[in-house]
């Protein structure tokens, strides 16, 4: 009987390994435009190596290409996704055409992304896999986190539009279970204005007394990577919809916050019952 149990455990273990291996080698899950594939494999060399050794991999023509988006640390200028054309005269702004291109790259292209990644600092450090985490760039311009709790309860009874408001969240409305370095957060919460940073929201981040997802403290748990973007002046007709009026507290397993600019229309539509209009 003991040997049978051991055999069953071994069988289950082998099945688990096989399932994981199949999922890792399932190239059909790659859903990208054709022109993006060389950049994808360049950024994930282990996946590229598996593809090169797999006779059934359909992406062999996209391997071994020296391509990069432009935010990678080792990305060469002539290998990045695009080089800003910057038409027109550069005189009066910078000394050379190349300086004009690099200025645009650093302020409005992948160079800006590279700078944000370089500035990332841990503000909420996890000790175990189910703990929360939060890291942000300087001045809280960009943040990413895991297992973060957001409480939108107060917005349900709020009647005024919240466009450009800095009190969308308040004390206790955002937090996580982790080693929280509040002094670092306070130090970077120095750009407090509606669109300048995430300072107006992140300044209320608090350390929770227990893990919100494990303990079932959230009405909704979003497991897919989630982007929260701020609305710039050129955007209109924005709505954020929640499943129904009884759901207010949300946990997000993979959270990214970013500033969204120069986009005319965006509609975050989860479902129809309960709407919070930003305008």
Are 266 and 133 contained in the same domain?
Answer: yes
So what's the pLDDT on residue 253? 65
Return the percentage of the chain with pLDDT > 90, whole number. 46
So what's the pLDDT on residue 186? 96
Please state, in angstroms and as integers, the Cα–Cα distance from residue 17 to each residue in 23, 25, 51, 128, following that order: 10, 12, 19, 23
Q: Considering only CA atoms, which of 118, 80, 124, 117 is closest in space to residue 102?
A: 80
Is 23 within a domain?
yes
Is 71 within a domain?
no
Neighbour tally for 142: CB within 10 Å: 22
What is the rounded distance in angstroms from the CA atom of residue 52 to the CA atom of residue 31?
Answer: 18
Is 135 within a domain?
yes
> Between 265 and 170, where is the model more confident?
170
What is the rounded distance in angstroms from the CA atom of residue 274 to the CA atom of residue 245?
Answer: 6
Are 40 and 163 contained in the same domain?
Answer: no
Q: Torsions phi, psi of 178, nearest 5?
A: -170, 180
Are 55 and 110 contained in the same domain?
Answer: no
Interval 183-192 mean pLDDT: 95
Mean pLDDT of the chain: 77
Are 20 and 156 contained in the same domain?
Answer: no
Q: Among 17, 33, 62, which residue terminates a domain?
A: 62
Are 85 and 17 contained in the same domain?
Answer: no
pLDDT tens per residue across span 223-262: 888 888 876 655 433 333 333 333 356 666 666 665 433 2
So what's the pLDDT on residue 258? 57
pLDDT tens per residue across span 75-92: 999 999 999 888 888 887
Are 214 and 163 contained in the same domain?
Answer: yes
pLDDT tens per residue across span 189-205: 999 988 888 999 999 99
Are 58 and 100 contained in the same domain?
Answer: no
Is 68 within a domain?
no
Is 33 within a domain?
yes
Are 6 and 129 contained in the same domain?
Answer: no
Are 40 and 90 contained in the same domain?
Answer: no
Are 84 and 148 contained in the same domain?
Answer: no
Are 151 and 201 contained in the same domain?
Answer: yes
pLDDT of 7 over the 60 cut: no
So what's the pLDDT on residue 249? 60
> 29 is in which domain, residue-wise?
2-62
pTM above 0.85, yes or no: no
Identify whether the C-beta of residue 138 lies closer than 8 Å to the C-beta of residue 188. Answer: yes
């Amino acid at each position: 009987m003991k040997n049978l149990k051991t055999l069953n455990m071994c069988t289950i273990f082998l099945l688990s390994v096989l399932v994981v291996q199949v999922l890792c080698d399932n190239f059909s899950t790659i859903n990208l435009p054709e022109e993006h594939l060389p950049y994808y494999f360049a950024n994930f060399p282990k996946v590229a190596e598996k593809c090169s050794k797999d006779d059934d991999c359909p992406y062999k023509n996209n391997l071994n290409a020296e391509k990069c988006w432009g935010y990678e640390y080792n990305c060469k200028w002539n290998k990045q996704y695009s080089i800003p054309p910057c038409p027109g005269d550069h005189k009066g702004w910078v000394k050379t055409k190349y300086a004009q291109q690099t200025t645009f790259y650093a302020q409005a292209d992948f160079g800006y992304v590279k700078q944000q990644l370089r500035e990332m600092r841990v503000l909420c450090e996890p000790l175990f896999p189910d703990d929360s985490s939060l890291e942000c760039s300087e001045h809280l311009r960009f943040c990413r986190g895991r297992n973060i709790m957001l409480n939108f309860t107060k917005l349900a009874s709020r009647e005024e539009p919240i466009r450009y408001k800095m009190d969308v969240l308040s004390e206790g409305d955002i937090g996580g279970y982790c080693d929280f370095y509040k002094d670092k957060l306070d130090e970077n919460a120095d750009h407090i204005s509606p669109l300048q940073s995430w300072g107006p929201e992140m300044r209320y981040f608090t350390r929770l007394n227990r893990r919100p997802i494990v303990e079932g403290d959230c009405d909704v748990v979003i497991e897919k990577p989630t982007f929260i973007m701020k609305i710039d002046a050129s955007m209109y007709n924005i709505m954020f919809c929640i499943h129904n009026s009884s759901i207010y507290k949300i946990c997000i397993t993979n959270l990214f916050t970013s500033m969204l600019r120069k986009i005319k229309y965006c509609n975050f539509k989860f479902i129809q019952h309960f709407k919070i209009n930003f305008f």
